[in-house]
Structure 1
Amino acid sequence: MIGPKGTLIVSGRWDDNVAIVDIAQALLPENDGTPNAILSRPRATPDLDLDGDGVPDARASGQPVAVAVDVAARHAYVVCHSGDATPEGAAAYQHGHPGLVTVLDVAAATDPAHDDTLGAVVEFVSTGRTGPVGCALTPDGRALLVNCGEAEGSEDGGDEVTVIDVATRRVTARVPLALNPDHPARSPSPHDSPHESFGHYPNPTGIVISPRAGGVVFVGNGGFSDVSVLDLKAALAGSAEAEINRVAVETGPFGMALSPDGALVAVASRESMSRPTEGGTVSIIDVGRAAARRPDAELARIPVGGTTDEMPSRPFGVAFSQNGSRLVVSCFRTNAISILDVAAACAGKACELHRLYPEAPGGATPRPRGIAVCGPYACVIGGAKEGARSSLVWVVDIAAGTVVGTVTGVGNESYFLAAIPPPST
């Protein structure tokens, strides 16, 4: 059941589940710093039959990393970065595993009866490619686009966006992304990033879709320092001509967000995959200019999180406020959350209204990551990788720039989450 202030679906990453959080319960003082607001932790990865006797004997790692929810809040789509890899296999090497999307029934997922079970799972959908990260539903809700971020057995080699039909839950198209012909590599790197052998493949990460200009897809290329712009209709058809523009950003992007009116895209410049450098800025892209193939589509590039040359802030996630006037940014390296005035940012003016340094229970390293906005609140994932249920969510009052609640026990180094607003909104 969706709570009166909304509900969160939080990816578990190294935990094989998602956590369902009631925001109203998270705001109660007696629940602050506890897991009491968690309604359920339904599983999001399949059982495995390792010895072939027809009886499941293990759980897949999955690495649930990203979540999208349809507008009716009927189904949630959970991207599992390592698919049906075993926990041991994913722990040995977290990259290059077959991708999987888990379809959850939202009502069932919120039911405590399905805690630690597969009872909320409607279907597992194989992407047919490896290392997926970001996903986005089309404006009409008929298709889910998923980034192929890696090649088999490698952190490198991601080169497509996979289209999944929501009704049939089958892959219907594969959209190629342009490679860098000037880079000497012709196969995925055998090294981990950062390494100079990266740079031939785009390795897509974040993705958002605007309904403007007939539908435009924005794909953050973690292997490059830019964002691909795709014509949505051509992408749904799997056209090799779908990519119509590239917009440069500071360095390899990760988290992305679309403004409520579909006019702006925010991009967190996280890190380079080819050089040992991290980013410290967020770019704001004009959708209309990007769709028109204009070279001036990047409206602003804003330093965030107290970034310096000595300590880049490494932005991770971004999210617009409900009315689009504010942009919330998580900064992993400086353990900060910046809240920006969007109009001031686009005008090239000073725009950081608040900078928070949220605390993790017990003095642990905060490490802010994914963000979802629900009503007046920005819900931000944090917590370093420290074992099962070691992640947390801070509930931030955007206008006040203060943390008003903390939920613990949501996952292990969780990445992204999705918010379901109450029906009245």
Structure 2
Amino acid sequence: MRTVVWNDLSAEEQSQVLQRPVQMSAQSLEDNVRAIGDAIKKEGDTALIRFTEQFDKTLLTDVVLPQSAFTEAEQNLSDEFKKAIQNAYNNIYKFHEAQKPSPISIETQKGVLCEVLTRPIEKVGLYIPGGTAPLFSTVLMLAIPAKIAGCKRIVLASPPTIANEIIYAAKLCDIDTIYTIGGAQAVFALGLGTEKVEKVDKIFGPGNSYVTEAKRQVSQMMNGAAIDMPAGPSEVLVIADDNANPDFVASDLLSQAEHGTDSQVILVTTSQAMADKVNVSLDYWLNQLSRKDTAIESLKHSTTIIVNSLAEAVKVSNLYAPEHLIIQTDDARSLLNDIQHAGSVFLGQYSAESMGDYASGTNHVLPTYGYAKTVSSLGLADFSKRMTVQEISKDGLKDLGPVVSLLAEKELLDAHKLAVDIRLKAIQGD
């Protein structure tokens, strides 16, 4: 990893150091994805089958996974794996169940009752990427909160051939409909509906730049579906002091670098010696990785930043707003109050980022590309919506009605004023 000294850089150079890798040409990507969406709207399942053959090299006879595949998947997995995934399931369930909101009911003044109620999103679609790694953990992260929230219909889409681990995780979460489709075409199918694919109200899940762009487009279409969050490639920022374990730091950096060539990792440290030790560890552990070539490409646009103090390290982290923030310092929790922007924070030397990815209980679907400044990590609230209720008594109208009547009059909204005044006169008539 290249190393820079933060205070030797100009403001412009500091900004450049924290830039994410450049993605594919935005206009080209937008046009290509729009063409896929247009085809799905016009041709439905016919286009899905054609795109699956074109992009996934698979000729489908049906876009819906047969029920027999659920039984076969379970039979082909070891008891050890099933026990491990059950452990992860339990922790994720426990953490998200604790997020259930309580109803709010308050009398803002006598006779004026205001409430907040929560209702589940009725139909949700979960997208699980394909590729070389079967992301069964993402199935748990999406399906468990959907289940707890009470979503009535939960379906899943993933490109063929779908790994047994993904199918089993879906079964564990009581999902019985899986579509064997992937990419931008799967997003449009979920968001718009086809002959076989049921339209959903909201789409969840990560993906490549095509999937991300398709989510953006479908969310802006009339009658399209909402989406969970904007997202880009994986990223991590590690804050380390003199006493951090360089092997721990290196392994955390590599855990994100191996995700993809467009992933980015950043080390912010108060110690040049620590930076040197981490580079030695990176060289050593890279050679142990099956995805070494991917990690090397990621490290080419990754950086070590030397700062004067931990306070300055926190400042750099807040400017970057990382998806994952790992703090390996003597008193990691003491920095937490000053952390303003991060998708998920890992405190202390034993809190490996991998723990949150799989089984600690927190959700690993997180905002990237700086969206952590305004977007939260995925949680139970994302699978529901709030609605407010008000109930005004006769006494409440007597007291508050004249106030509302005057305010409506000042905004020149005569019908708003009338709706109150006519009730006030009716009360007086009583």
- Which TM-score band applies after superposition, normalised by the shorter structure? under 0.3
Is the radius of gyration larger for structure 1 or structure 2? 2
Larger fraction in strand: 1
Higher relative contact order (CA 8 A, sep 6+): 2
Larger fraction in helix: 2
